[in-house]
């Protein structure tokens, strides 16, 4: 009967030519229909936000069409799929990205003009999907775009947080956090799948049973929560493929605990079970400190368990023998956050599918690979044994068993080297006995990826030295990349046209290697004119934004110097501010003729501090305090302006990056695993002022060190410099600017005292004092280069031309070939 219905539907569909049409009239009709029937406003009376909603729903229909085709095609071909597990995805806005990837931007722009609307204005109505903290989460989003574009059979899995990353508001120069109610206005980009849901169990006890003469462990869970799927189609560019990002939301379960309803306390039973929803309520806003919180562990297991049930169900649709599992499934764990999935796979295979341990372990080891983003051992997650034992008792047992076997194996290689054994153990015996999630991942995964060459080196020689000596072949470098679709095509349309015009093709949007072709024209005066116009228009947009937000008027002739990223001691925003103070101090001591030689600057800083991170919050306040003084000093005028951009997020980045001349990446060498912001600036022709850390090292190789401003201590110099620390004084200039802050030159003397203490004698772990003089030299070099606009423009063109390696397309190709063993699966048009 189903076959019959299907045939009838197909026939009817073809008769009516039922595919969605993309000509301007059809799009207009679609938009108006959505105004009337989806948004439920009159076609003749709706505002910009309602127009955005209708527009978004019309785009969504087109996404769904391709997404269905893609999944039918995947199902038919049944290729090996990659499942990308990540606790965070920072997608930002979807509208413009979607219409560009679908290839119907012009048609929509035209349709809207006909209706009296402007596409760009409506696009501004969209709020960001901010289900992540920073680099790691935006990387996941860029990689999803590449996976779709390159036609890989991929799924993303994560959590659908009710509240994304907090909104930052600034009151009197201090950061305050406000909840991000992103779902309150509806989310047209997701599809709620009420029928795709799985129970996820927590707590309870373990019982032993004898089944068919075999001793078995049975987990009797104490709580069950329902995971409901929300699907987010991810369209590829220049392909019909649209893949799925499936995010889980927690809902009360109707399966468990029915007794409480019969005891008569109906209201309380409902209220209690409603608490289940808290699991997916809120994203943890600390981007690299782990507090061993129960809710966080529950979030991790919740999304991992639901995802694996989904993956196994899909596998079982077509297969019955788990020997084939590794031919059909590759699981990628993004940092250690989803690594409980290793224990979960073992539990399912051993306890539920009745495989014997070594067979199950063999399967687990051939499906998992992990990417580590942290640099220091302290950045790696540890879960207290008591906590794990209470929330997931069976998983704790399984981890102990994995560890027992690991230790046996290690003894074969290392004998009685107990120090080494205890370092490599998954179980850490300390004041708080805990599980090292990284060690669990290392024991199981066939591949351990670092995110830049220097980072991999750090993993091999320091963080995981013992593991590297045992399994060198597991360690691989997958230098990060970002998607040129979002970071050039969407956010910098004028640059996009220039590139396509000069290369004579748009093919670089799918094949980034072609962008190197720009090198040939790096000295062409016509290209220079177009390039400078592009930059000026983008600076104008940014200047308007700055004025609306902060009331600071900035000159377009000034160098726009930008540092935007999460605020961290190691990222050294403080070095930037102290440099600004130095510049200010110099200007104050100049006569009029000296001043004429100063290159005017607009120093822009933006970023969020984790709510409990005191030092980071003080840096934000200092930035405002300095801005207050400098921006209102008549001696300075346009020579120096300081701006803090509040609530930095993906869509703010899309505006700021194209409008900047210089960007700063100041991490103390050895502390930034990769950095991906720098790649976005590079693509947009902004010059980089950077330490030789993370991906900046590889950027210098690609564009030539002469085309950027590198400075500061090198990775292998840092440890020795730290040793000497106490005897090593920073420069006189450094002492002077810190003293200005200490003495209350910018007010808030007492408040800034502890911040100053972090960089002065005895402290200064991040070597600001040591690097300061070299930092100022690099800044002076940037000034000199800016004066020579021909030279600057040439360096800018060469930056864009040399950015090809830093496309996430390249990264994803490497993962596909070296870690996952998957092939493209292209949906026919």
Active site residues: 373, 565-566, 571, 676, 680
Of 729-758, binders to ligand Z16 (CB under 6 A) are none
# residues contacting ligand Z16 (CB under 6 A): 18
Contacting residue, 51, 360, 374, 599, with ligand Z16 by CB under 6 A: 374
CB 256 within 8 A of CB 223: yes
Could you give the CA distance from residue 234 to residue 475 in angstroms, rounded to a whole number? 30
- Backbone phi, psi, residue 689, to 5°: -115, 110
Site string for ligand Z16, 243-282 (x = CB under 6 A): ----------------------------------------
Residues paired with 475 in a beta bridge: 448
Q: Is 697 in the site for ligand Z16 (CB under 6 A)?
A: no
Q: Is 373 in the site for ligand Z16 (CB under 6 A)?
A: yes
HSE on the CB side for 575, CA within 13 Å? 32
Least distance in angstroms from the C-beta of 136 to ligand Z16: 3
Least distance in angstroms from the C-beta of 395 to ligand Z16: 23
Could you give the CA distance from residue 82 to residue 156 in angstroms, rounded to a whole number? 8
- Backbone phi, psi, residue 693, to 5°: -135, 150
Indicate the residue among 198 and 290 with the shorter CB distance to ligand Z16: 290
Site string for ligand Z16, 657-696 (x = CB under 6 A): ---------------xxxxx-----------------x--
Could you give the CA distance from residue 347 to residue 87 in angstroms, rounded to a whole number? 21
> What are the residues whose beta carbons fall under 8 Å from the beta carbon of 419, sequence distance 6 or more?
none
Site string for ligand Z16, 123-142 (x = CB under 6 A): ----------xxxx--x---
Indicate the residue among 149 and 452 with the shorter CB distance to ligand Z16: 452
Site string for ligand Z16, 275-314 (x = CB under 6 A): ------------xx--------------------------
Least distance in angstroms from the C-beta of 797 to ligand Z16: 25
CB 108 within 8 A of CB 99: yes
Pairing relationship of beta strands 447-450 and 559-564 according to DSSP bridges: unpaired
Residue 482: helix, strand or coil by DSSP? strand
Could you give the CA distance from residue 186 to residue 182 in angstroms, rounded to a whole number? 8
HSE on the CB side for 709, CA within 13 Å? 26
Least distance in angstroms from the C-beta of 733 to ligand Z16: 29
Q: Is 607 in the site for ligand Z16 (CB under 6 A)?
A: no
Indicate the residue among 46 and 467 with the shorter CB distance to ligand Z16: 467
Could you give the CA distance from residue 453 to residue 698 in angstroms, rounded to a whole number? 8
- List of E strands, 75-181: 81-85, 89-92, 129-131, 154-159, 167-171, 174-178
3-state helix, strand, coil in the chain (%, to 5): 55, 15, 30
CB 720 within 8 A of CB 800: no
Site string for ligand Z16, 72-101 (x = CB under 6 A): ------------------------------
Indicate the residue among 90 and 228 with the shorter CB distance to ligand Z16: 90
Closest C-alpha to 392, from 296, 276, 322: 296
Indicate the residue among 186 and 377 with the shorter CB distance to ligand Z16: 377
Indicate the residue among 374 and 643 with the shorter CB distance to ligand Z16: 374
Least distance in angstroms from the C-beta of 154 to ligand Z16: 18
Indicate the residue among 476 and 555 with the shorter CB distance to ligand Z16: 476
HSE on the CB side for 306, CA within 13 Å? 33
Q: Is 381 in the site for ligand Z16 (CB under 6 A)?
A: no
Could you give the CA distance from residue 458 to residue 810 in angstroms, rounded to a whole number? 22
Of 417-476, binders to ligand Z16 (CB under 6 A) are 451
Q: Is 338 in the site for ligand Z16 (CB under 6 A)?
A: no
Stretch that binds ligand Z16, among 155-163, 357-365, 373-381, 748-756 (CB under 6 A): 373-381
Indicate the residue among 579 and 694 with the shorter CB distance to ligand Z16: 694
Least distance in angstroms from the C-beta of 374 to ligand Z16: 4
Between the two ends of the chain, the Cα-to-Cα distance in Å is 29
CB 289 within 8 A of CB 170: no
Contacting residue, 379, 606, 607, 685, with ligand Z16 by CB under 6 A: 379
Q: Is 571 in the site for ligand Z16 (CB under 6 A)?
A: no
Indicate the residue among 618 and 680 with the shorter CB distance to ligand Z16: 680
The DSSP line for 184-228 is TT--TT-EEEEEEEEEEEES-EEEEEEETTEEEEEEE-SEEEEEE
Q: How far apart, in Å, are the Cα atoms of 628 and each of 638, 648, 746, 747?
A: 14, 20, 8, 10
Q: Is 332 in the site for ligand Z16 (CB under 6 A)?
A: no
Least distance in angstroms from the C-beta of 282 to ligand Z16: 16
| Residue 459 DSSP class | I
Least distance in angstroms from the C-beta of 137 to ligand Z16: 7
Least distance in angstroms from the C-beta of 767 to ligand Z16: 18
Indicate the residue among 101 and 371 with the shorter CB distance to ligand Z16: 371
Position of minimal CB gap to ligand Z16 = 135
Binding site for ligand Z16 (CB under 6 A): 133-136, 139, 287-288, 373-374, 379, 451, 480, 672-676, 694
């Amino acid at each position: 009967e189903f076959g019959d219905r299907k045939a009838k539907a197909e026939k009817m569909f073809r008769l009516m030519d039922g595919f969605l049409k993309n000509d301007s009239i059809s799009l207009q009709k679609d938009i108006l229909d959505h105004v009337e029937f989806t948004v439920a406003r009159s076609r003749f009376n709706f505002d910009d936000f309602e127009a955005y909603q209708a527009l978004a729903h019309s785009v969504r229909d087109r996404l769904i069409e391709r997404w269905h085709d893609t999944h039918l095609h995947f199902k038919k071909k049944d290729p090996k799929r990659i499942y990308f597990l990540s606790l965070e995805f920072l997608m930002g806005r979807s509208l413009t990205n979607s219409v560009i990837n679908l290839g119907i931007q012009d048609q929509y722009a035209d349709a809207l003009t006909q209706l009296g609307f402007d596409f760009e204005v409506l696009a501004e109505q969209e709020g960001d999907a901010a289900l992540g903290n920073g680099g790691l989460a935006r990387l996941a989003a860029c990689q999803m775009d590449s996976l779709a574009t390159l036609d890989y059979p991929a799924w993303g899995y994560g959590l659908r947080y009710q509240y994304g990353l907090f909104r930052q508001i600034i009151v009197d120069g201090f950061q305050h956090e406000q909840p991000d109610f992103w779902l309150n206005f509806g989310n047209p980009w997701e599809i709620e799948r009420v029928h795709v849901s799985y129970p996820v169990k927590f707590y309870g006890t373990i019982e032993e049973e004898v089944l068919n003469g075999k001793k078995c462990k049975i987990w009797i869970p104490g709580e069950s929560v329902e995971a409901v799927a929300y699907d987010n189609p991810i369209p590829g560019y220049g392909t019909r493929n649209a893949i799925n990002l499936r995010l889980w939301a927690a809902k009360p379960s109707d399966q468990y605990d029915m007794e409480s309803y019969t005891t008569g306390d109906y209201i309380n039973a409902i209220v209690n079970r409603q608490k289940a929803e808290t699991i997916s309520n809120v994203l943890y806003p600390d981007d690299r400190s782990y507090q061993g919180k129960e809710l966080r562990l529950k979030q991790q297991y919740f999304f991992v368990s639901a995802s694996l049930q989904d993956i196994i169900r899909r596998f079982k649709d077509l297969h019955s023998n788990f020997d084939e599992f590794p031919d059909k499934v590759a699981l990628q764990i993004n940092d250690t956050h989803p690594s409980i999935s290793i224990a979960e796979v073992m539990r399912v295979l051993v306890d539920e599918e009745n495989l014997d341990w070594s067979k199950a372990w063999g399967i687990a080891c051939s499906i998992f690979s992990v990417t580590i983003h942290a640099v220091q051992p302290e950045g790696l997650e540890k879960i207290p044994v008591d906590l794990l034992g209470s929330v997931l008792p069976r998983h704790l047992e399984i981890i102990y068993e994995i560890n027992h076997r690991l230790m046996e194996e290690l003894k074969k290689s290392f004998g009685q080297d107990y120090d080494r054994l205890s370092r490599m153990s998954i179980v850490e015996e300390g004041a708080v006995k805990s599980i090292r999630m990284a060690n669990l991942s290392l024991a199981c995964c066939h591949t351990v990826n670092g995110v830049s060459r220097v980072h991999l080196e750090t993993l091999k020689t320091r963080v995981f030295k013992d593991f590297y000596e045992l399994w060198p072949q597991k360690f691989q470098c997958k230098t990060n990349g970002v998607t040129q679709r979002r970071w050039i095509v969407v956010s910098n349309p004028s640059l996009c046209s220039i590139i396509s015009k000069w290369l004579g093709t748009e093919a670089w949007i799918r094949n980034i290697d072609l962008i190197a072709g720009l090198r040939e024209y790096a000295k062409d005066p016509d290209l220079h004119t177009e390039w400078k116009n592009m930059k000026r228009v983008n600076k104008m947009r940014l200047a308007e934004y700055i004025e609306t937000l902060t009331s600071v008027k900035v000159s377009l002739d000034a160098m726009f110097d930008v540092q935007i990223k999460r605020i961290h001691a190691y990222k050294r925003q403080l070095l930037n501010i102290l440099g600004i103070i130095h510049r200010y101090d110099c200007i104050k001591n100049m006569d009029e003729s000296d001043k004429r030689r100063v290159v005017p600057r607009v120093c822009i800083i933006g970023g969020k501090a984790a709510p409990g991170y005191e030092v980071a919050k003080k840096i934000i306040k200092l930035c405002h305090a300095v801005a207050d003084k400098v921006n209102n000093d008549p001696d300075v005028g346009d020579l120096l302006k300081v701006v803090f951009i509040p609530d930095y997020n993906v869509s703010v980045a899309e505006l700021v990056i194209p409008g900047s001349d210089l960007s700063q990446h100041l991490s103390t060498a050895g502390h930034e695993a990769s950095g991906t912001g720098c790649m976005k600036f590079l693509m947009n022709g902004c010059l980089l002022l950077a330490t030789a850390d993370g991906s900046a090292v590889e950027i210098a190789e690609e564009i030539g060190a002469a085309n950027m401003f590198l400075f500061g201590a090198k990775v292998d110099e840092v440890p020795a410099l730290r040793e000497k620390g106490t005897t090593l004084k920073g420069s006189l200039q450094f002492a002077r600017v810190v003293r200005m802050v200490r003495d209350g030159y910018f007010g808030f003397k007492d408040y800034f005292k502890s911040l100053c203490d972090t960089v002065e004698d005895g402290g200064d772990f991040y070597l600001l004092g040591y690097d300061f003089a070299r930092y100022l030299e690099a800044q002076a070099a940037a000034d000199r280069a800016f004066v020579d606009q021909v030279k600057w423009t040439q360096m800018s063109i060469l930056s864009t031309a040399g950015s090809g390696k830093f496309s996430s397309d390249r990264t994803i190709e490497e993962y596909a070939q070296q870690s996952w063993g998957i092939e493209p699966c292209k949906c026919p048009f």
